[in-house]
Amino acid sequence: MVAPAALRVVRCGGSSFHGARAVFSADSKQVGPGPGPGPGYLLCASGDFVKMYSVATEETLRLMGGHADLVTGIQLNPHNHVQLYSSSLDGTIKLWDFMDGIPIKTFTVGSKLLALYALASFEDSVFVVIPKRGERATFQLVSVKLTKAAGQDLEAKELSVVLDGVDASPKSIAFGREGEYVASVKEIDLQVYFFKQKQLNRFSVSAAKTKSGNNQFTCIACHPTEDCIATGHADGKIRIWRNFYHKKEYIYSTLHWHHDTVMDLAFSVEGDSLLSGGVESVLVLWHNQSECEKDFLPRLGSPIEYISMASDGTLCCTLHTDNRITIINSNLRFARSIQGLIKSADIKTGLVVDPRTKALVLNGEPGHLQFYCLQSDQQLFSLDIVQRQYIHQAGLNQADLVKVAFSARGKWLATVEEREEVTDPELQLKLWFYDEEAQSFKLNTRINMPHEDQITDLCFRDMDELEDDSVILVTTGRDRVFKVWVIVEDTDPEAQQSVSWSCDFIGSYHNYQATNCCFSEDGSLLAVSFEETVTVWDSVTWDLKCTFCHPPGKIRNICFGRLTCSKYLIGVSDDGFLCCWNLLSCALEWSAHLNILVLQPDPLSEYIAAVSWLSKESSLFVFKPNEPRPIYIQRNLCREKIQLAAFIPRDEPETVGSEKYLWLRRSQLFFLTDTQELMTLSTKSLQERLTPASKQLAVEESLPVTPFSLLLGKHRRQQSQDDIDLGKLFVRNKCEQDSPAVKELLHTPAHVLPSASFLCPIFINSLLISKENKSAEEVADEVEMESEKPEDDSDEERDVTEMEQENTSPLELFGEMTCKLPKSQEKELRKIRKVDYSWISAF
């Protein structure tokens, strides 16, 4: 099924939305899936892709890829509302049909495109910002004539410069009402160019630096109906400019609420109100451009990067610096938010896998832990760990989450938060208990200052048996000790049995800083690294068993081997050595000279992945501890430094063609780069991975829902599912719904139809026919249900269950028939073919 193709590095989430403002699809023409009017889709640039979201369901409907570099601008085609222009750093403008996700045309401009503007008043040209030839860091706004010639790939070389010396940011240029003028800001200058008069006016504000910052321009917005320009400044002021036809007699008024840079401005569709946002993560609505009338939408979570309005004014959306999209109602009510992988300033927690949901867990919003679902590229939920109001202000030192660990079954969660400060550092260890009823984690114990200095690592004892109260947590700290925490039951005899955590043992080794800790697979041994030395402790008596070291390197990471390799201990030292010690002989088994940054054992197999960083490229090594030769090497994994990696167990083992990729069978390796892009290794091509799901969704989404279609649609959908399940077998069934009786019933005008009593038997009959068919459907449903069950048992077992299924019911096998057809199944197929389908021809 899978060709033994080379492994490809696939980006699977976390791309930044920072390319451009998001765009709402035009309303009215199409019926949105949600109740009531309003735009149905939201489009935004995400890395090299353009993503389309459903506003109603927050789901990613389509991913439009084709650009070779970052997408810098997207605009709806002002003359056709289902088309979209997108520009990219790779020098092309693409025209998309976003309803179908097809690129219609590609215009090659030739130089980097930094922003894109499309206007209704300019028939066949768009405006782009390009770097000026021969000069660095100077940009110009040019208009590009898009030729109407046939063909997919076209050259667009007809450029005419409109404005010179503009800023590269897409927020620094805005077009006035009906495209009469264009305004651009750069540093302290505002330029306004009138197209008709061909007149350029320049204004500038004083460059005086005030206490709160300078008053450089940061963004600009033009009033949709009046001659009025709003500009945002770095010191938090908003200036409203009027009468700017005159070079001298222009007037401006100032609105000041923001205490820091105004990041973006947007006028409402009628122009009676102005929206502004900034670092404070508060969306401010200014009524009638007056200082006193304003409304706020506070605590949006993170600084606002872009604000965009829907063309009918019912919705607006804000893009945040942490890659979140918030959709806001016209009455300034929070509607919903679309969140993928939330980007946080610094991922200190590492990539952790939640054993319960198999979600990736890492730092989210400040002080929160995000559970990110890889399958749907959505945030499952965000757990508030710090539980304090986060103040969005630069230079504030606020508590953040630094370490996270889950117990083996996900019953306990341990988090460490700290606030670095010289005088009184705050450190808290929190233990959370998973509450089955509430389906979320509840705080069980909070320990203030568990260590006197930073906590460097923590781990639970991974006992795979039923988790009773024998769970042990180990924390290592810079205060040169490691501590063992255990569950104790409350002493109060009458209180309901509640448990809490307390310290059981404190261990140290020659007064060295403890840096890492790790339990062996069976939980009997604890390895703690103290700078250069790895110490191994008995987890029952807490006796020091033995020590390993590889001087002069300090230990960066340690892990135990698993399954067949459980007698090995792997350590990585910061002088560039990977060492493997044998725990039975207490000797060094082998070592390799590699600068390993990330060491990640697969929880389901004995393979260990190591990512090295050498001369500007990351390489991946996969090895088994019992042999020094790696099983798989991928050089030049990516250009960025890889910070973190995690193995995520697959729902069911993948069939892997080549022996080389056997390590990918049970779990999938994900890694996160410096720029917080989540990558994975895959043998499948991108199309295979993405298209089927999204296509199906789009079809259903675009269907108008009527009672009748509900009645028939359900019927039809099941039919189509059958077709998929049974391959070509039931192709003939299709004619059932096209059968003359039903067709006549549906297409004949109501006034010529015979009486209902006459039609009823025919229609009922048509339904009855499918009754036999339905039983097959039901079986198919059952098969589906079964395959949904997590199957983490080994492949052999799987085969056995298949055999059993064969014996019980031949029909159950249909779901798998398309995959492979062993002889026994082919026999079954033949049997089915022999069944008489002549009843179908009755119609």
Q: Is 541 in the site for another protein (CB under 8 A)?
A: no
- Give the gyration radius of the chain's Cα atoms: 32
Q: Is 444 in the site for another protein (CB under 8 A)?
A: no
> Residue 376 or residue 387: which is nearer to another protein going by CB?
387
Classified as helix, coil or strand, 373 is strand
Out of 465, 469, 492, 796, name the contact with another protein by CB under 8 A.
492
Out of 249, 424, 788, 804, name the contact with another protein by CB under 8 A.
424
> Residue 424 or residue 436: which is nearer to another protein going by CB?
424
Contact of 567 with 525, CB cutoff 8 Å = no
Classified as helix, coil or strand, 24 is strand
We find the least distance from the C-beta atom of residue 493 to another protein, in angstroms, to be 4
Q: Is 326 in the site for another protein (CB under 8 A)?
A: yes
Q: Beta-carbon neighbour count of residue 580 at 10 Å?
A: 22
Query: In 3D, which of 284, 300, 280, 281 has the Cα closest to residue 292?
Result: 284
We find the least distance from the C-beta atom of residue 494 to another protein, in angstroms, to be 5
We find the least distance from the C-beta atom of residue 23 to another protein, in angstroms, to be 23
We find the least distance from the C-beta atom of residue 282 to another protein, in angstroms, to be 11
- Count interface residues toward another protein (CB under 8 A): 27
Reading the block at residue 775, the tokens are: 């039983």
The torsion angles phi and psi of 325, rounded to 5 degrees, stand at -115, 125
Stretch that binds another protein, among 95-103, 392-400, 535-543, 711-719 (CB under 8 A): 392-400
> Residue 136 or residue 211: which is nearer to another protein going by CB?
211
DSSP, residue by residue, 402-422: EEEEE-TTSSEEEEEEEE--S
> Residue 145 or residue 446: which is nearer to another protein going by CB?
446
| Nearest-10 crossing angle of helices 740-747, 756-788 | 110
Query: In 3D, which of 370, 365, 413, 372 has the Cα closest to residue 389?
Result: 365
d(CA 113, CA 94): 12
Q: Is 437 in the site for another protein (CB under 8 A)?
A: no
Q: Is 55 in the site for another protein (CB under 8 A)?
A: no
We find the least distance from the C-beta atom of residue 485 to another protein, in angstroms, to be 16
Q: x/- site string to another protein, residues 622 to 661, per CB under 8 A? A: ----------------------------------------
We find the least distance from the C-beta atom of residue 429 to another protein, in angstroms, to be 14
d(CA 379, CA 361): 10
We find the least distance from the C-beta atom of residue 372 to another protein, in angstroms, to be 18
Strand order from edge to edge, sheet including 632-638: 596-601, 608-614, 617-623, 632-638
Stretch that binds another protein, among 199-207, 383-391, 636-644, 811-819 (CB under 8 A): 383-391
We find the least distance from the C-beta atom of residue 210 to another protein, in angstroms, to be 18
Contact of 397 with 390, CB cutoff 8 Å = no
Contacts of 508 (CB under 8 A, 6+ apart): 480, 481, 482, 514, 530
> Residue 388 or residue 635: which is nearer to another protein going by CB?
388
Cβ burial, residue 66 (10 Å; 0-12/13-18/19+) = middle
> Residue 121 or residue 387: which is nearer to another protein going by CB?
387
CA-based torsion, 296, 300, 301, 302: positive or negative: negative
Query: In 3D, which of 182, 191, 337, 329 has the Cα closest to residue 268?
Result: 329
Out of 395, 551, 704, 740, name the contact with another protein by CB under 8 A.
395
**Region class of 439: left (phi > 0), else alpha (psi between -120 and 50), else beta:** left
Q: Is 398 in the site for another protein (CB under 8 A)?
A: yes
We find the least distance from the C-beta atom of residue 298 to another protein, in angstroms, to be 8
We find the least distance from the C-beta atom of residue 394 to another protein, in angstroms, to be 11
Out of 149, 208, 495, 835, name the contact with another protein by CB under 8 A.
495
> Residue 79 or residue 388: which is nearer to another protein going by CB?
388
Reading the block at residue 100, the tokens are: 């179908």
We find the least distance from the C-beta atom of residue 398 to another protein, in angstroms, to be 6
Stretch that binds another protein, among 78-86, 225-233, 380-388, 559-567 (CB under 8 A): 380-388
Out of 132, 348, 356, 419, name the contact with another protein by CB under 8 A.
419
Contact of 590 with 601, CB cutoff 8 Å = no
Q: Is 448 in the site for another protein (CB under 8 A)?
A: yes
Out of 8, 79, 202, 388, name the contact with another protein by CB under 8 A.
388
> Residue 143 or residue 445: which is nearer to another protein going by CB?
445
We find the least distance from the C-beta atom of residue 530 to another protein, in angstroms, to be 21
We find the least distance from the C-beta atom of residue 121 to another protein, in angstroms, to be 37
We find the least distance from the C-beta atom of residue 492 to another protein, in angstroms, to be 5
Q: Beta-carbon neighbour count of residue 486 at 10 Å?
A: 16
SS (H, E, C) 631-643: CEEEEEEECCCEE
Report in angstroms the alpha-carbon separations of 117 from 50, 124, 182, 702.
16, 12, 11, 28
d(CA 170, CA 44): 14
Cβ burial, residue 510 (10 Å; 0-12/13-18/19+) = exposed
> Residue 35 or residue 493: which is nearer to another protein going by CB?
493
> Residue 15 or residue 326: which is nearer to another protein going by CB?
326
Q: Is 497 in the site for another protein (CB under 8 A)?
A: no
Q: Is 387 in the site for another protein (CB under 8 A)?
A: yes
We find the least distance from the C-beta atom of residue 529 to another protein, in angstroms, to be 26
> Residue 272 or residue 421: which is nearer to another protein going by CB?
421
We find the least distance from the C-beta atom of residue 507 to another protein, in angstroms, to be 15
Q: Which helix (H) or strand (E) holds 140?
A: strand 139-145
Peptide bond into 653 cis (omega under 30): no
Q: Is 393 in the site for another protein (CB under 8 A)?
A: yes
Q: Is 331 in the site for another protein (CB under 8 A)?
A: no
3-state helix, strand, coil in the chain (%, to 5): 15, 40, 40
Q: Is 494 in the site for another protein (CB under 8 A)?
A: yes
Could you say which residues in the range 260-319 bind another protein, by CB under 8 A? 297, 299-301
d(CA 660, CA 633): 10
One-letter amino acid at 645 equals A
We find the least distance from the C-beta atom of residue 331 to another protein, in angstroms, to be 14
| Nearest-10 crossing angle of helices 707-726, 756-788 | 50
> Residue 233 or residue 320: which is nearer to another protein going by CB?
320
Q: Is 202 in the site for another protein (CB under 8 A)?
A: no
Q: Is 841 in the site for another protein (CB under 8 A)?
A: no
Q: x/- site string to another protein, residues 333 to 362, per CB under 8 A? A: -x--x-------------------------
We find the least distance from the C-beta atom of residue 268 to another protein, in angstroms, to be 20
Q: Is 502 in the site for another protein (CB under 8 A)?
A: no
> Residue 327 or residue 341: which is nearer to another protein going by CB?
327
Q: Which helix (H) or strand (E) holds 62?
A: strand 60-65
Q: Is 511 in the site for another protein (CB under 8 A)?
A: no
Out of 6, 120, 161, 391, name the contact with another protein by CB under 8 A.
391
d(CA 334, CA 380): 19
Cβ burial, residue 401 (10 Å; 0-12/13-18/19+) = buried
Query: In 3D, which of 126, 118, 222 has the Cα closest to residue 175?
Result: 222
> Residue 264 or residue 365: which is nearer to another protein going by CB?
365
Q: Beta-carbon neighbour count of residue 194 at 10 Å?
A: 15
- The binding site for another protein (CB under 8 A) comprises 297, 299-301, 326, 334, 337, 384, 387-389, 391, 393, 395-399, 419, 423-424, 448, 491-495
